Structure 1
Amino acid sequence: MPTTVPPYEVAETIRHYKSQYARAVDTKQWDLFSSLLHPALTASLHDLDGSLTTTSDGTKCRFSSREEYILFLRTGFANICSVHVVGAGELEMVNDEDDVAAVWAMSYQLGSLDGAAGGGYTEIGGGHYHEVWKKLDGQWVIASLKFVNSFRKVI
């Protein structure tokens, strides 16, 4: 089945914003991060087997708004240094010219801020983001996001 590749400018704009998404998390620029997400964002995080990720306190990683998702990440990354690397992505126009489906390969490294002191937490991993980007007031934003881990190792 043939795919409809977005126009070059649209694809490059979305790739640029996805790179900003990763950098905003890594540098804790939550206002920038927020500007890349639809207010009615739906998001979920999934384990290696595809099941919904559950945090150590029993919270299921499913979010029904931009604010919910940001609060989760902001809290989770408060004492973590991170580097997220996102691939070029597979982008496809869907429905109309204001929706783009994207799949991105992503790898990450996480470390607790106290890691340099000889202790702490270190994790490496990666997986794929499955997203829908929509135009909102002339800007491309993520309307839905699903991240599925392919591998994860705590060192």
Structure 2
Amino acid sequence: MSWNLPPALSNSASQLINVFANGPGPGPTSLVSTLTSNWDLLFTPPISHVDMAVDPRVTDIIRGKKLRYCLCIDTKQWHLFEQVALPDATLCIVNPDGSFVEQDGVDWNWPTRADFINYLQKTFGQHQTMHNAGAAAFEQVSPDEVKVTSSGIWHLAAGETQGTGGGYYYETWVRKDDDWFMKSMRLERTNWYMS
């Protein structure tokens, strides 16, 4: 087995081996001084990738935009969706088996923000809805991209018909200037019940 050690650690390992094999030798080098001067190198695990912590200001912006997403749909203020998603944002809603939700021959898979909003206006514009976004996990992919997974519950009232469902949102958000916008959204339904 061979070890690919960084040069500083490789030199420290050589020093340690030399100290163990031959004693401290002349000069100030000793096992204790070699260990203490290289402690971080010896006892810090190697980094295989760099984890980027998500700035809390970014998570606050995205959470606020997710609330606005819910408000746009539930209050029928469709124009506000411009503040949430990019014009070329892709949005889809899928069943537990991964197939697109389908209604009246239309797959719920929209290639643009406008297509998504136009469909919602026509289909749900007259219905009462309530969307609740739950806990979210954030992953910084790059300085300008964050992936978000969050839970969601929604309710629908269409005349005498009531519906409730839940699922998980898988989203990609990107930075544009000093703001963040949804680039893609995949809502995976886990349940949907109509009465």
The TM-score normalised by the length of structure 1 is: 0.89
The residue number in structure 2 matching 1:23 is: 71
Query: Residue 136 of structure 1: CA displacement?
Result: 2.1
Instruction: Structure 1: give runs of 5+ residues left out of the alignment.
Output: none
Identical columns (%): 28
Instruction: Structure 2: give runs of 5+ residues left out of the alignment.
Output: 1-48
Matched, 1:97 2:137: no
Query: Residue 34 of structure 1: CA displacement?
Result: 2.5
> Which 10-residue stretch deviates more, 41-50 or 97-106?
41-50
Given that 2:149 and 2:169 are in contact with CA atoms closer than 8 Å, whether structure 1 keeps it comes out as yes
- Deviation string, structure 1 residues 105-137 (Cα, Å, up to 9, x no partner): 00011001xx3xxxx221000101100001124
Match of 2:157 among 111, 132, 146: 111
The TM-score normalised by the length of structure 2 is: 0.71
Given that 1:40 and 1:64 are in contact with CA atoms closer than 8 Å, whether structure 2 keeps it comes out as yes
Counterpart AA for 2:184: S
Matched, 1:136 2:179: no
Query: Which has a greater percent of strand?
Result: 1
Q: Give the aligned CA root-mean-square deviation in angstroms.
A: 1.5
Partner Cα distance (2:53, 2:130) in 1: 29
Given that 1:107 and 1:125 are in contact with CA atoms closer than 8 Å, whether structure 2 keeps it comes out as yes
Partner Cα distance (1:128, 1:68) in 2: 21
Given that 1:38 and 1:136 are in contact with CA atoms closer than 8 Å, whether structure 2 keeps it comes out as no
Given that 1:34 and 1:70 are in contact with CA atoms closer than 8 Å, whether structure 2 keeps it comes out as no
Counterpart AA for 1:53: V
The residue number in structure 2 matching 1:35 is: 83
The residue number in structure 1 matching 2:166 is: 126
Partner Cα distance (1:109, 1:5) in 2: 34
SS at match of 1:130: strand
Partner Cα distance (1:143, 1:7) in 2: 19
Query: Residue 7 of structure 1: CA displacement?
Result: 0.7
- Deviation string, structure 1 residues 63-106 (Cα, Å, up to 9, x no partner): 11111111111112112101111013111101x21100001100
Partner Cα distance (1:37, 1:15) in 2: 13
Query: Residue 35 of structure 1: CA displacement?
Result: 1.9
Query: Which has a greater percent of helix?
Result: 2
Given that 2:65 and 2:83 are in contact with CA atoms closer than 8 Å, whether structure 1 keeps it comes out as no
Query: Residue 142 of structure 1: CA displacement?
Result: 0.4
